[in-house]
């Protein structure tokens, strides 16, 4: 088995082909997909972040990716020792990354709750179970979605292009209490191959402020099209007004009209507000993703 760093777009196509070969049909649209890689590669030198494993003929057997949030993603064709090698590479790579003051010094990884072998592999290498899960909802679109209902004075419309990027980033940061979203991040999303401006919705309040947003997208999953309505963010000043539900209903209808057989979204198990909005809009819980964390010594990667 040979290993090397990611080198370019040809390698991305090989990674996507590997995913299609090793993922069960119901997991073909799982993270990470094409757009997730495109967003990351638009801002990073992938050679520092993605490692490939090939057999003696040069056929791709697996890849591992440690992103800038210290999350380890990896997939491979089952064979003895390969998963172990990928986890060891991820731990070594994460130990090289700087940690900002106040951040947890952890490498995280995730998988579906049904992935018994992956769970055993991570635990064997010292990863501990996290109490927080990612919950994934689906709206199967067997019937027309509910009509969106906005409070009086609010307007739903597409984002006004790059001129509103700063405003939507500020909205995201206020909604989630984070500094992680940047204008460069949002622009990278808007420059991916699957981005559609007509599916990038905002809700504008009567005073002109952006009150909420939802980024919709449409992706192939085999011979069918699957829609997505996330992320969804609502500014704290406008929460509990039904804006998230309205965005989800409008998004589901727009995606159904474009051929989606279902619409999906994900959120954390602790985000009860988003979970209630999803269920009120006709979504139902589909599956959960478990998270695992591996700590590093306090001095590792510190800045």
One domain for residues 22 and 79: yes
Taking only Cα atoms into account, the Rg of the chain, rounded to an integer number of angstroms, comes to 20
Q: Is residue 117 located within the same domain as residue 146?
A: no
In a shared domain, residues 52 and 103: yes
pLDDT at position 120 is 97
- State the pLDDT at residue 101: 62
Residue 170 and residue 123 share a domain: no
Q: Are residues 152 and 174 in the same domain?
A: yes
Kindly report the CATH number assigned to the domain that includes residue 7: 3.40.630.30
For the chain, how many structural domains are there in total? Answer: 2
Q: Is residue 302 part of a domain?
A: no
87 in Cβ contact with 120 (< 8 Å): no
Domain of residue 143, residue span: 137-287
| Per-residue tens of pLDDT for the chain, all 303 residues | 999 999 999 999 999 999 999 999 888 889 999 999 999 998 877 667 999 999 999 999 999 999 988 999 999 999 999 999 999 999 999 888 877 665 677 899 999 999 999 999 999 999 999 999 999 999 999 989 999 999 999 999 999 999 999 999 999 999 999 888 999 999 999 999 999 999 999 999 999 999 999 999 998 887 889 999 989 999 999 999 999 999 999 999 999 999 999 999 999 999 999 999 999 999 999 999 999 999 876 444 433
What's residue 69's pLDDT? Answer: 86
Q: Are residues 150 and 263 in the same domain?
A: yes
Domain membership of residue 12 (yes or no) is: yes
Q: What are phi and psi of 53, to 5 degrees?
A: -120, 130
Backbone torsions φ then ψ of 221, nearest 5 degrees:
-135, 90
Q: What is the pLDDT of residue 300?
A: 44
Say yes or no: 145 and 127 in one domain: no
**Quick one: how far is CA 245 from the chain centroid?**
20
DSSP state of 302: B
**Contact predicate 23/30, CB 8 Å:** yes
Residues 35 and 62 in one domain: yes
This prediction's pTM: 0.88
Same structural domain for residues 45 and 173? no
């Amino acid at each position: 088995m040979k290993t090397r760093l990611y080198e370019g777009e040809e390698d991305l196509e090989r990674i996507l082909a590997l995913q299609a070969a090793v993922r069960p049909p119901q997991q073909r649209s799982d993270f990470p997909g094409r757009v997730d890689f495109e967003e990351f590669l638009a801002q990073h030198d992938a050679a520092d972040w993605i490692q490939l494993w090939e057999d003696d003929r040069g056929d791709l057997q697996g890849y591992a990716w440690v992103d800038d949030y210290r999350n380890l993603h990896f997939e491979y064709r089952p064979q003895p020792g390969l998963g172990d090698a990928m986890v060891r590479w991820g731990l070594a790579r994460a130990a090289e990354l700087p940690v900002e003051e106040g951040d947890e010094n952890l490498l995280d990884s995730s998988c579906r709750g049904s992935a018994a072998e992956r769970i055993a592999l991570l635990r064997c290498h010292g990863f501990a179970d996290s109490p927080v899960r990612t919950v994934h909802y689906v709206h199967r679109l067997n019937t027309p979605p509910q009509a969106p209902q906005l409070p009086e004075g609010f307007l739903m419309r597409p984002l006004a292009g790059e001129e509103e990027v700063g405003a939507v980033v500020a909205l995201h940061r206020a909604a989630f209490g984070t500094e992680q979203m940047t204008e460069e991040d949002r622009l990278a999303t808007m420059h991916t191959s699957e981005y559609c401006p007509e599916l990038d919705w905002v809700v504008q309040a009567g005073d002109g402020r952006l009150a909420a947003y939802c980024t919709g997208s449409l992706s192939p999953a085999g011979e069918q099209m699957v829609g997505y309505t996330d992320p969804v963010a609502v500014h704290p000043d406008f929460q509990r007004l039904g804006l998230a539900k309205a965005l989800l209903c409008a998004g589901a209808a727009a995606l159904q009209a474009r051929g989606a057989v279902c619409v999906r979204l994900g959120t954390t198990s602790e985000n009860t507000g988003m979970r209630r909005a999803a269920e009120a809009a006709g979504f139902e819980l589909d599956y959960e993703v478990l998270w695992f964390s591996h700590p590093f010594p306090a001095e590792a990667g510190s800045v």
